[in-house]
Amino acid sequence: MKYFRMPLVGLLSATLLVAGVGTATADDAPQGSARSGTAPLRALADRAGLRIGTAVDMAALADDTAYRRMVGREFDSVTAENVMKWEVVEPARGTYDWSGADELVRFARERGQVVRGHTLVWHSQLPGWLTTGVADGSIGAAELRSILRKHVTTEVKRYKGRIQQWDVVNEVFEEDGSLRDSIWLRELGPSYIADAFRWAHAADPKAKLFLNDYNVEGVNAKSTAYYDLAKRLRAEGVPVQGFGIQGHLAIQYGFPGDVPENLARFARLGMQTAFTEVDVRMILPADAEKLATQAAYFRGLLDACLGSRSCRSFTVWGFTDKYSWVPGVFAGQGAATLTGEDYGRKPAYAAVREGLMEGR
């Protein structure tokens, strides 16, 4: 995923929260009580009627005990950061590798967590055999559509009943609201979006099916394009049931305006909403002022979710800077998550905790 945020008008007016640094618990399960201040985030989220989630790095889950314990203790929803993407699950045509995805689903089941599936149709992280075949003309449009249908159907059926929400179609619009010039649009036309939702629904009628994108937190050209698309598809009977707002923010660009209003208009369509990939990056080095602003941004998105009847899922895109994707994509930026590289809790963790407690 690449993310480029344009400046957005409006700063969040919020109390800047300060918290001390803590360490990861040794417990690999939710424990503690709200009264003693030791309750994990998932316990507080449950009382607030919300799922609190994280993206999971499967290599870290296998090799880092502290990371594994915190995933199990703090969160009641997990998303595969990479292991459910097409290039991973079908690296060679007809040859599948479900090992990472299977392990995440097993891990979640043992800890009473739900799973968000990410992602079925995307322009990025496609297997080389697919992109090469389209480029050299050996895979034509009719065959490509058949391949896409098989991919969506195979993956969704494999996890039928075990995935609560799927990001079916990911990042299909440009910032100006025009459809992204992707392999799917060029070869299949815009109908691939409706097709993907129909195929996913047929494979698992109980899973909630989401559109998902970045820079759509507030009301803007891009989020309006999604609103218009969802309204049209739903009127046609296409099972578009949710709108996923990634929530990759950067403090140097300000807090997006109209977030509650944006959630409300999707709710009026009868759709669920969710924050699906929240992190808040900054220009390094971090300092107390930047961390306080970061905390306010996390709290602003969480409060918008808690204040919406449609939003019942809030997922951070990783919870520790140790494994964050941000520094590898944005040179000189980082410190984007709830805890530091040593798992020490930042003011952002305290902000989310307080928000969940007040959201009950």
Write the CATH number for 58. Answer: 3.20.20.80
Is the bond preceding 119 in cis, omega lying within 30 degrees of 0? yes
Give the span between the Cα atoms of 340 and 321, in whole angstroms: 5
Burial label, 319 (beta-carbon count in 10 A; 0-12, 13-18, 19+): buried
User: Is 276 among the domain residues?
Assistant: yes
| Domain-embedded: residue 338 | yes
pLDDT digit of tens for each residue in the chain (360 aa)?
Answer: 433 333 333 333 333 333 333 333 334 656 655 444 689 999 999 999 999 999 999 999 999 999 999 999 999 999 999 999 999 999 999 999 999 999 999 999 999 999 999 999 999 999 999 999 999 999 999 999 999 999 999 999 999 999 999 999 999 999 999 999 999 999 999 999 999 999 999 999 999 999 999 999 999 999 999 999 999 999 999 999 999 999 999 999 999 999 999 999 999 999 999 999 999 999 999 999 999 999 999 999 999 999 999 999 999 999 999 999 999 999 999 999 999 999 999 999 999 999 999 986
Q: Which residues of 48-80 are buried (b: 16+ CB within 10 A; e: fewer)?
A: bebbbbbbbbbebbeebebbbbbbbbbbbbbbb
According to the model, what pLDDT value does residue 29 have?
58
The pLDDT, as a whole number, for residue 360 is 65
What pLDDT score does 31 carry?
60
- Among all residues, which ones are annotated catalytic? 171, 277
Residue 35: inside a domain, yes or no? no
pLDDT of residue 21: 34
Is residue 18, in this structure, part of any structural domain at all? no
How many other C-beta atoms can be found within 10 angstroms of the C-beta atom of residue 36? 7
pLDDT value at position 97?
98
The verdict on pTM exceeding 0.95 is: no
Instruction: Give the Cα-Cα-Cα angle 336, 22, 299 (nearest 5 degrees).
Output: 45
| Residues linked to residue 118 through DSSP beta bridges, in sequence order | 167
Domain that holds residue 67: 41-358
In a domain, 184, yes or no: yes
Residue by residue, DSSP assigns 119-178 as EEE-SSS--HHHHHHHHTTSS-HHHHHHHHHHHHHHHHHHTTTT-SEEEEEE--B-TTSP
- Give domain status of residue 15, yes or no: no
| Domain annotation covers residue 328 | yes
21 in any annotated domain = no
Residues 6+ apart with CB under 8 A from 283: 252, 290, 332, 333
Q: Strand pairing partners for 311?
A: 273
Give how many domains the chain has, as a whole number: 1
Closest by CA position to 320, among listed 344, 350, 286: 344
